Structure formats: structure tokens, C-alpha cells
């Protein structure tokens, strides 16, 4: 087939992803013939792969001979058959033809096929079954099979060559010295007695943690700090008690990982070493910094025992063995017959916790977890480098614009990009659809509102605006909606009947204890921090001793965890002290639910701090949230009293809900969680009839979803097991740094054109490269290593084989990638008349204006995003910045004397922050439609009054003074022009007493023929002042420059109807002024 190999390895390729066996297994086959004898082969490793539908190749590396002749591993009779030459034995090998995942297909297990027929012979039993073949399915249904075809016989040499190829993957270097010594130490007992004067080395992950350890262990004494040559990092020297003996402590640290995984020398060239070659190159463990390695060698000399205080996560476990790889051979042999390495399990840097850990929480380091990290590093290196080198070199050769670009690929980064592009494609393919709904209003909401408002202090928290929702919600057929409202009007005669009144109590559940992913989502959505910034701030709070360890998946407090002891630390706090006292004054109320993952307790505050104790604002915001969340988990739920009123209008039912908080509960600690309270403005009674104020049909449009937010992406990555709680922030930051996505206001991630093209190419060539299935399955394999269920070497070789097959398939279909980039650059070349116009509000760099396309666009090449602009006029820089997003404001001038002009922000024009005046969702929005209260270009600042012609828009003053000053409607095409020669037209804050329109001041030059008696300035109302009214002319404005539908006229411009101008003046006069 032409599709990509699926996640399996049954024979050549194909089948379902299955775990590779670890230990040697005593497996045998049986052969039926004359005498029905049974032979048993020697032990050998579990097979190299699994076949289709779960029946796969079961041939191990070793072959055994038994009393009955050649014996092979037992296989299900539904496997594929293969005949051997010689004595004619037949065995079931499960070697299917390659099964491939087609472009657009889906991952699924293949169906089980029963044998077609059996034939018994003199030499043994023969079974022929259906054979799976790949069929390309463009409709996206995936794999298919054809029945009744017999498998081709395979030559023994070909099979032998295949096994040799599978075994050609090199033995990658890992921490062999540390693992070997740990294996020997694991059989030894713990030291029964520690002698006085024993030198104990303590190694932490960071110097700040080493200092916290020294302060905790010194007690009432002091410690000495050594720094400078030959020490690279500080070393703290002190005497302290360790297991009943007075010992000499040396406390120092490393700076993260000591080793990195890289290829052996000679494979640095990207052009020479590409493709599958890298999977057969040995990887090495190389020092990250030689100075740290030498520092550990120096500080460990003369030490007898070592205590490792590395972070208690998978990476920390791996760093433990990196440290042991250096210092274990140097340790003194004083306790050579005992275990000499202790692993500290801790989650807080509080002095009490550290001392308790030293006394009773020391264990052995976990070798299986460390090996799983080694496996992840090797596989990520080989797959990431192989794909990155190939696609970067391929695109550089074909496109000069990409000559200096590195197009990176990451096993976690790419599926994360896939989530963002998937949402982008949903938005791009979304087609708005009109819908209609029936809305009603009651007179109580207007006449009796003031009488029913509460008079206590809580009145400001209670809303009396209750929306009655139509039970049918919305209908997508206008005629049906019109028929329903007509029937209900005829039956109800303008009256609504109270059908049902019901009161129900509900509760708002308190939060579960806080884990890492929940913290990252809240920081992005509520605190305005990126996941990377939030993790950096949390680590800083942890190392400063303010919070517990910030990397945890647990959402349940353990029984031994002193939760209420932490609460007592906060009773005197100025902000949440009352909440802490309230918790301690009530019976214990531990949270229900949650999951204990066995790693670390949930994130909690360790000590109390005021805002002045934490200098960085970002860290204080995070600490404030963590503490309030912690207190909220120990408080009661918030209870609400909900009153539901159902109204019957004919056959149609409407429902309104009012909610009042009865008991605050946890929202006292988390006030932003307080729900909006509402109250009916009057007391309803069952079967009461009420005359309707309005009863009408409202039209609306369905809206597309928004771009994926950081919080939503974190949730998807956690759900599909892409990355860990520690690495998720790094993956999201990589997407932004590499310009595959750009950050929008509201911390939403919009994919760039580069990211979209790469994601589409991966999906077209091999969708498993970008789907989360592949990474999720790989993480499951790595988890089995960490649990000790599978062997490290076998898993690595098995995964490398799959990755290599996928890379080779990607190379064979690379022209698909080229075709997508060809189309991208062709679109860009079409608009060659570009120039710098204004600056981007995100990156603050110049954006390119392209008037040669329709509609014209402005593009930020740094963020790689394009914003369409209005067509049919001129775009110029206006000046000033949008208060929402920081983009420079532009001015659009429609062509012609009657052209309507208005300022606009490029971002708000395409992503309106408001609905229009009538609550309709906008697809585009200029500044003349913006409701920002302080922006000088919004209609709040520049509007005169409601448009008297359309009754939907606002009359807005043109902010640019020209030879002809103008006032235009921001909804329809009506335009008010002042007489020629007006120097300046400005709006005043005062309003007309008659029509409530804003007053204007008009200035003309001296000796003008417009104002009477030689006046140069006049202040008044355009509608009510007859002199100002006479200086204006109402015309039909031009919104775009031609090509649009014209209601009146002939050819270009046409001719206005005779009475149109007077009609519009009459409409203006209806506001209270006199016509022209």
C-alpha cells in the first residue's frame, strides 16, 4: 500500500501495538502426525513483534531442537501459515503482508478471521487462512482485508536477514556504572550502626536547596561554606546527628542533569547523516558541563555515605544515578558490606519536614524509573533529530526562503501542534447558520423594578434582570418559527400564564486539592501567566520555602498529612485569616474524592507570607491563589436556592431562573468563584396571568469556536498523556518560540501558516505523526519500564524499528510537503506591492500592508499572521494604539465625495471584542462600533445620537477634519455632510434638552456665507437648531469603492431619487428639530 506503517511490528510491519516481552519464556510448539509426538525447544526471548489482529510473529532469536525435529514457538492456528522445506513441517508464523495506516484512515484493531479450511497430511497439520492486505481507503475508513488468498512462502535466507536487521540497532550507552553498583548494593543490608565521625555527603538538585538543607541540619550550631577553586558550587560543612551518630556533613548540589544524551562523533553533518541512518547510530551519555563532573569528584573524596536530595520525580530519579555514576567508585570502603546510598523522599523544604525525612524517609533509588527516563531520552533524540534533519534539509534545498530555517519536529511538540491546528481548521471550515428564537418581556421588569429591589447592603450583588428562555431554544427555519409565534399569539391573546413555580436547593462543589496541571490551567486562564512562567514562579516559591513541591499529579490528602497544622499558620493573615479561623472552629471536613498517585502530596502553602514578604508580583499572585485554594478545599460547599418560574404563552413555554446564595462556604476564600445572584422583581403566583410587553422573533447567527487556549491545550495534553506535568510548559513554550503558533489576547494559541502547513502535511502523509495515539502508546511502554514489567533494551529496539519505518515512509512521500509550501509561497508572491504600515500589538514589529489583493491585508511576518482589511478605499495610519491589544489604529477612507471613513484596529476589526448595539454577534468591527468607555475613537466618545433613519445605529462624528466634515451612521449608509468651509466640528459633553442628542460646535472662517451675521462659531443641536440644520445635507454614503449593489441610479454613481434627501431630513426632524 501507499499508506504509512501502523504502530506495530508483525513480521515486516503492521498489526497492533503490543508490548514486547522481557524475560526468557519457555515456549514450545506441537506437531501432529503419525504417533502424535510432541517436541520441546530450548528457552528463547519473546518474539520481536506482534501480528495483525493480535496474532503475530512469534519467532524468537533462539531456535531449539527437540526430540520431534525442528520446533518453533506455539502460535494460534488462526495465524498465517508458512511451509518449510525438508521434512515438510508446517508452523504458524503470523507473518502478514504489511498493514498500513492510510492517509485519513483511523487506528483500529483488525478483525479476527477464522480458518477457511483444514487439511490433514502425513507429515502434520496444515491450516490456510485468510490473508490481510492493505487497501487504500480515501474515505477515511482505514484498513480492509481480502479473503481467500494464500500467503506466499518465504525463503529461509530472507527470514534470517530480517532477524539480523532487527538486531542491528546498537546498544545505546546508559549509566552502566551506576546501575551495576546499585545492583550489587541492592543485595546488601542497611548499615546496622553508624560510627561517629562518618562523613556523609548530601547532594541536592540546586544550590538553593542545599542551603536550605544546611540550615535545617545545623540545629543551634553553625556551618561553614566553602566556595571557589576547586569547588564550582558552594559546599556547606557542619556536624549533625545521623542515625544515632555524630557525623560530618558535606552539603552541596548539582545544576539539573549532569549528563546529556547525544550521538557519537562523526554524525554532525545534516546532509550526510539523514533518514534511517541515525536509528543505527549509537548514543552516548556526555557531561552537560565538565565543571560539574569535576566538582562532584572533588567533593565526594573521603566520604563514606551519600544521601541524594534530588527532586522526587522521574527526572530527579535519573539525576540520582547520574550523580552515582561519578561518585560511587570514589566513596570510601568503610561500609562496603552495607548499602551506602540513601534516597530522600520529601515534598517540602520546611525545616521540620527535612529533619523528619533524614530520620525516617530514606529509601533506595529506583533503577527502573531511571531507565525509563534513559529510554525516553534516546527515543526522543533519535526520532526528533532524524525528522528535523530530513525535513529541514529537504525544504532548504527546494525553497530559498527557508535557507536559514530549522523546521523542527518533536515527539510531544508535534501532537500538541496538531490540537491547535485542529481547532484552527474547525474555525476555517465553519459556516455561520441563521437561527430564530422567540423572546418575551414582561412589564414587571420595567414598571415595578424599583419597588422590589432589596434595601440592604447586599443589593449591589443581586441582579434583577431575569431572562426567560424559550423551551425550544432556537429554530433554524424562519417559517416554522413564524408559524409558532402566530399560533401562540392567537391562543394567548397577548397574555402569559404562570404555569409552574419551583424552588430547588443546589450546591457549588468546593475544589479538589491542587495538582500541577490544575495550577498551570488556572495560571494561564485566570492569572495571565504562561505555563512556563507559572512553573518558574512555582519553583521559586518552592526553593524559598513558601509552598510544597510543585510537580505532582495527586489530588488527595493522605491520612498522615497534617493539613490542619498548615491551616494554623494562617490564622493571623490579613487577607484570609478569617477563613483559616472558620476552618479550625468547625469539625474536620476533609475533601472527598481525588486520586492519590503515590508521588507527592498536593501543592499547599508551607508557611504564611504577606505580600511584602514575596517581592515579585507574579510569585505573590501564584502564592495567593495556592493558599486560597488550599483553604477552600477544607471548607463547605456553597449552597444556592434556585427559584424556577415557567410561563405559558399559548402552546409555548418559557423558563426563568433566579438564584440566591444561602451559604457562602468555600467562596469566602475564593471570592472570584461567587456566582451571580438574581432575584425576580415581583412575586409570581401559580395560574397568574400577565400581559406581555413584547413578544417577538429574534434572529441570530451561530458562531465558530475560539482558538485553543493554553488551559485547553494543557487539558488535552494531560488527557492524552503527551508529556509530563513537568514538561508540558516546555512543549507549549517551544511551539511559541519556533513560531508554529502565536499567542493572541486572552492567551489563545493561533497556529501560524508554517504550523498549519506542517500539521496538514503530517496528516496527509502519516496521520499518526500528529495524532496523540503514537505518543500515548509510547508513554505506556515507558511506564512498563518504570514498573519493572518490560526490559529497557527490548522496548527501545522495538520502538526504534517503528520510528524508522515511519521516517522512511515520510521520506518517500515528501513531495506532499513540498506541494503545500509551493502553494503558500505562490499566495505570498501574488501580493508583491507590500510596504510597512503599522506595528503589531503583540511583537511590536512592523507589519506589511498589501493592497494588491482583495480584500487588502496587513501581515506580521514575525508572528506569521495576516489580518484582512476593508476593501474599496484607502488605508492610512491614523495614530494611537488600541487599548485592548496595543495595535496601531488605521484609518479607512472610502472613495468618492460621499465616502464614509472610520478608524479601525486590525485585530479588533477581525476579532470583535463586543457585540453590536442590538446584541448581534459581529464578524467585523471598526472603532465606530466599539463600546470602549475611554477610547477617543469609540462611538461612546464620538456619537451624537441614535440614527433616526435606521433606528439601529449611532450617528458618529468623523474624527478627521477635512474640507468637508461628516457625521455618519455606524450601521446604515446614511451620511450627514456639513457645508463647505467648516474648519472644525467638535462634540460637546452637554446634551440637547429637547431631543437628548449631544451638542456640536462648528467653526467657519471669517466672511463665510454659511452662518448669519458674520458668525464664525456656532454651538447647538443639529436636529433642533434651524441654522445648524440648514448647514447640513443628508446623503447616501459610500461604504466601499464600487462593485457593490446600488439601490438607485444608473451606471456609475447613478442619480438620487428626487425626494430621498427630504425624506431623510424629515427622519432627522423626528428627533425634535426642524427640517431644512
Q: Backbone phi, then psi, for 662, in 5-degree steps?
A: -90, -35
Check: CB of residue 334 under 8 Å from CB of residue 269. no
Q: What is the CA radius of gyration of the chain?
A: 38
Please report which helix (H) or strand (E) contains residue 525, including its range.
Answer: helix 516-525
Print burial letters for 429-448: b (CB count within 10 Å at least 16), e (below 16): eeeeeebbebebebebbeee
Please report which helix (H) or strand (E) contains residue 445, including its range.
Answer: helix 444-447
**Residue 383's closest CA among 801, 15, 720?**
801
**Residue 437's closest CA among 485, 405, 395?**
485
User: In angstroms, rounded to a whole number, what is the distance separating the alpha carbons of residues 892 and 913?
Assistant: 20
∠ CA 538-380-821, nearest 5°, is 100
Contacts of 252 (CB under 8 A, 6+ apart): 201, 202, 203, 204, 210, 231, 233, 234, 235, 236, 295, 299
Q: Which triple of cell numbers denotes residue 576?
A: 484570609
Grid-cell match 573524596, residue found: 301
Print burial letters for 1040-1068: b (CB count within 10 Å at least 16), e (below 16): bbeeeeeeeeeeeeeeeeeeeeeebbebb
User: In angstroms, rounded to a whole number, what is the distance separating the alpha carbons of residues 942 and 934?
Assistant: 11
Given the residues 145, 259, 444, 549, select the one marked as catalytic.
549
Q: List C-alpha distances in Å: 578 to 17, 315, 573.
A: 56, 40, 8
Check: CB of residue 1039 under 8 Å from CB of residue 924. no
**Residue 550's closest CA among 629, 634, 626, 628?**
626
Check: CB of residue 243 under 8 Å from CB of residue 196. no
Q: Backbone phi, then psi, for 731, in 5-degree steps?
A: -65, -40
Q: Which triple of cell numbers denotes residue 185?
A: 548494593
Task: List beta partners, residue 976.
Answer: 967, 1034
Whether residue 549 lies in the annotated active site: yes
Give 780-829 as a DSSP string: HHHHHHHTTSS-HHHHHHHHHHHHHHHHHHHHHTHHHHHHHHHHHHHHHH
Pairing label, strands 341-344, 677-678: unpaired
User: In angstroms, rounded to a whole number, what is the distance separating the alpha carbons of residues 1039 and 872?
Assistant: 8
The alpha-helical segments, DSSP class H, found in 886-1034 are 906-910, 939-942, 1026-1030
CA atoms within 13 A on the CB side of 1068: 31
Check: CB of residue 292 under 8 Å from CB of residue 258. yes
User: In angstroms, rounded to a whole number, what is the distance separating the alpha carbons of residues 600 and 345?
Assistant: 9
Check: CB of residue 759 under 8 Å from CB of residue 741. no
Please report which helix (H) or strand (E) contains residue 1017, including its range.
Answer: strand 1017-1020
Check: CB of residue 96 under 8 Å from CB of residue 15. yes
List active site positions. Answer: 549
Amino acid at each position: 500500500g501507499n499508506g504509512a506503517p501502523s504502530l506495530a511490528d508483525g513480521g515486516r510491519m503492521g498489526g497492533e501495538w503490543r508490548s514486547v516481552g522481557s524475560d526468557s519464556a519457555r515456549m514450545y510448539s506441537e506437531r501432529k502426525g503419525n504417533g502424535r509426538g510432541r517436541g520441546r525447544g530450548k528457552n528463547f526471548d519473546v518474539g520481536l513483534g506482534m501480528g495483525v489482529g493480535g496474532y503475530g510473529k512469534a519467532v524468537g532469536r533462539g531456535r531449539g531442537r527437540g526430540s520431534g525435529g525442528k520446533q518453533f514457538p506455539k502460535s494460534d492456528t488462526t495465524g498465517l501459515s508458512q511451509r518449510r522445506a525438508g521434512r515438510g513441517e508446517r508452523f504458524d508464523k503470523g507473518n502478514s503482508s504489511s498493514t498500513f495506516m492510510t492517509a485519513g484512515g483511523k487506528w483500529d484493531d483488525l478483525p479476527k478471521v477464522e480458518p477457511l479450511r483444514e487439511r490433514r497430511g502425513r507429515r502434520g497439520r496444515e491450516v490456510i487462512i485468510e490473508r490481510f492486505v492493505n487497501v487504500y481507503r480515501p474515505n477515511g475508513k482505514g484498513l480492509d482485508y481480502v479473503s481467500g488468498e494464500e500467503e506466499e512462502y518465504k525463503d529461509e535466507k530472507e527470514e534470517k536477514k530480517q532477524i539480523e536487521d532487527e538486531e542491528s540497532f546498537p546498544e545505546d550507552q546508559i549509566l552502566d556504572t551506576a546501575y551495576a553498583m546499585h545492583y550489587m548494593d541492592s543485595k546488601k543490608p542497611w548499615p546496622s550502626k553508624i560510627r561517629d565521625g562518618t562523613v556523609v555527603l548530601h547532594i541536592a538538585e540546586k544550590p538553593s536547596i542545599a542551603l536550605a538543607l544546611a540550615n535545617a541540619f545545623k540545629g543551634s550550631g553553625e556551618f561553614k561554606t566553602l566556595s571557589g577553586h576547586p569547588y564550582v558550587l558552594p559546599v556547606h560543612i557542619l556536624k549533625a546527628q545521623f542515625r544515632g551518630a555524630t557525623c560530618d556533613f558535606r552539603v552541596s548540589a548539582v545544576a539539573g542533569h549532569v549528563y546529556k544524551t547525544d550521538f557519537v562523533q562523526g554524525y554532525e553533518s545534516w546532509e550526510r547523516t539523514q533518514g534511517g541512518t541515525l536509528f543505527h547510530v549509537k548514543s552516548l551519555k556526555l557531561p552537560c558541563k565538565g565543571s560539574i563532573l569535576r566538582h562532584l569528584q572533588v567533593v565526594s573524596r573521603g566520604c563514606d555515605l551519600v544521601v541524594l536530595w534530588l527532586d522526587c520525580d522521574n527526572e530527579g530519579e535519573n539525576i540520582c544515578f547520574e550523580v552515582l555514576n561519578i561518585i560511587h567508585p570514589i566513596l570510601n570502603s568503610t561500609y562496603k558490606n552495607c548499602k551506602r546510598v540513601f534516597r530522600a523522599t520529601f515534598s517540602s523544604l520546611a525545616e521540620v519536614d527535612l529533619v523528619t525525612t533524614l530520620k525516617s524517609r530514606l529509601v533506595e533509588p529506583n533503577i527502573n524509573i531511571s531507565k525509563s527516563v534513559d529510554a525516553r531520552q534516546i527515543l526522543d533524540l533519535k526520532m526528533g533529530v532524524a525528522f528535523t534533519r530530513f525535513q529541514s534539509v529537504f525544504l532548504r534545498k527546494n525553497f530559498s526562503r527557508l535557507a536559514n530555517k530549522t523546521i523542527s519536529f518533536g515527539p510531544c511538540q508535534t501532537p500538541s501542534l496538531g490540537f491547535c491546528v485542529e481547532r484552527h481548521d474547525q474555525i476555517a471550515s465553519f459556516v455561520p447558520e441563521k437561527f430564530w428564537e422567540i423572546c418575551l418581556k414582561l412589564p414587571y421588569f420595567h414598571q415595578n423594578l424599583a419597588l422590589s429591589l432589596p434595601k440592604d447592603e447586599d443589593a449591589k450583588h443581586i441582579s434583577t434582570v431575569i431572562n426567560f428562555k424559550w423551551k425550544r431554544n432556537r429554530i433554524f427555519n424562519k417559517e416554522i418559527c413564524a408559524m409558532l409565534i402566530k399560533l401562540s399569539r392567537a391562543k394567548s391573546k397577548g397574555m402569559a400564564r404562570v404555569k409552574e413555580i419551583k424552588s430547588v436547593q443546589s450546591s457549588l462543589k468546593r475544589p479538589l486539592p491542587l495538582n500541577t496541571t490544575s495550577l498551570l490551567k488556572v495560571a494561564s486562564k485566570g492569572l495571565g501567566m504562561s505555563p512556563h512562567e507559572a512553573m518558574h514562579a512555582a519553583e521559586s516559591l518552592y526553593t524559598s520555602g513558601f509552598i510544597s513541591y510543585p510537580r505532582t499529579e495527586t489530588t488527595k490528602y493522605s491520612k498522615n498529612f497534617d493539613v490542619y497544622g498548615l491551616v494554623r499558620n494562617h490564622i493571623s493573615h490579613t487577607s484570609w485569616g478569617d477563613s483559616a479561623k472558620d476552618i479550625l472552629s468547625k469539625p474536620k471536613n476533609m475533601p472527598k474524592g481525588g486520586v492519590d498517585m503515590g508521588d507527592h502530596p498536593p501543592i499547599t502553602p508551607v508557611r504564611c507570607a504577606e505580600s511584602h514578604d514575596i517581592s515579585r508580583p507574579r510569585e505573590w499572585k501564584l502564592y495567593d491563589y495556592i493558599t486560597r485554594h488550599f483553604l477552600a478545599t477544607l471548607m463547605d460547599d456553597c449552597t444556592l436556592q434556585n427559584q424556577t418560574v415557567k410561563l405559558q404563552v399559548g402552546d409555548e413555554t418559557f423558563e426563568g431562573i433566579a438564584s440566591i446564595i444561602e451559604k457562602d462556604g468555600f467562596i469566602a476564600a475564593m471570592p472570584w468563584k461567587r456566582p451571580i445572584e438574581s432575584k425576580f422583581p415581583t412575586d409570581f403566583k401559580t395560574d397568574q396571568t400577565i400581559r406581555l410587553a413584547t413578544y417577538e422573533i429574534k434572529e441570530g447567527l451561530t458562531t465558530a469556536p475560539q482558538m485553543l487556549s493554553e488551559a485547553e491545550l494543557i487539558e488535552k495534553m494531560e488527557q492524552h498523556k503527551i508529556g509530563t506535568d513537568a514538561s508540558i510548559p516546555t512543549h507549549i513554550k517551544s511551539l511559541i518560540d519556533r513560531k508554529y503558533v502565536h499567542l493572541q489576547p486572552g492567551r489563545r494559541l493561533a497556529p501560524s501558516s508554517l504550523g498549519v502547513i506542517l500539521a496538514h502535511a503530517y496528516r496527509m502523509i502519516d496521520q499518526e505523526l500528529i495524532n496523540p495515539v503514537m505518543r500515548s502508546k509510547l508513554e505506556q511502554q515507558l511506564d512498563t519500564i518504570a514498573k519493572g514489567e518490560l526490559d529497557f533494551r527490548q522496548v527501545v529496539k522495538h520502538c526504534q524499528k517503528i520510528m524508522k519505518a515511519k521516517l522512511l515512509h515520510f521520506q518517500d512521500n515528501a513531495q506532499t510537503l513540498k506541494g503545500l509550501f509551493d502553494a503558500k509561497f505562490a499566495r505570498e508572491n501574488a501580493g508583491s506591492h507590500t510596504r510597512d504600515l503599522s506595528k503589531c500589538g503583540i511583537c511590536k514589529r512592523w507589519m506589511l500592508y498589501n493592497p494588491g489583493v482583495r480584500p487588502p491585508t496587513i501581515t506580521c511576518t514575525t508572528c506569521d499572521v495576516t489580518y484582512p482589511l476593508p476593501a474599496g478605499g484607502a488605508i492610512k495610519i491614523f495614530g494611537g494604539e488600541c487599548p485592548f491589544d496595543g495595535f496601531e489604529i488605521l484609518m479607512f477612507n472610502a472613495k468618492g465625495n460621499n465616502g464614509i471613513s472610520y478608524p479601525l484596529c486590525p485585530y479588533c476589526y477581525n476579532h470583535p471584542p463586543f457585540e453590536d448595539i442590538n446584541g448581534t454577534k459581529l464578524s467585523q468591527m471598526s472603532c465606530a462600533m466599539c463600546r470602549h468607555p475611554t477610547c477617543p475613537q469609540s462611538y461612546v466618545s464620538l456619537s451624537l445620537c441614535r440614527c433616526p433613519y435606521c433606528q439601529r445605529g449611532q450617528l458618529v462624528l468623523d474624527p478627521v477634519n477635512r474640507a468637508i466634515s461628516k457625521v455618519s451612521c455606524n450601521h446604515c449608509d446614511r451620511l450627514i455632510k456639513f457645508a463647505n468651509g467648516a474648519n472644525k466640528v467638535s462634540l460637546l459633553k452637554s446634551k440637547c434638552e429637547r431631543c437628548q442628542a449631544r451638542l456640536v460646535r462648528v467653526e467657519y472662517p471669517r466672511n463665510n456665507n454659511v452662518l448669519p451675521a458674520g458668525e464664525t462659531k456656532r454651538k447647538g443641536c443639529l436636529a433642533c437648531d434651524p441654522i445648524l440644520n440648514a448647514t447640513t445635507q443628508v446623503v447616501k454614503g459610500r461604504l466601499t469603492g464600487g462593485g457593490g449593489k446600488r439601490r438607485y441610479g444608473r451606471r456609475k454613481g447613478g442619480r438620487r431619487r428626487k425626494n430621498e434627501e427630504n425624506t431623510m431630513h424629515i427622519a432627522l426632524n423626528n428627533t425634535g428639530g426642524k427640517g431644512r
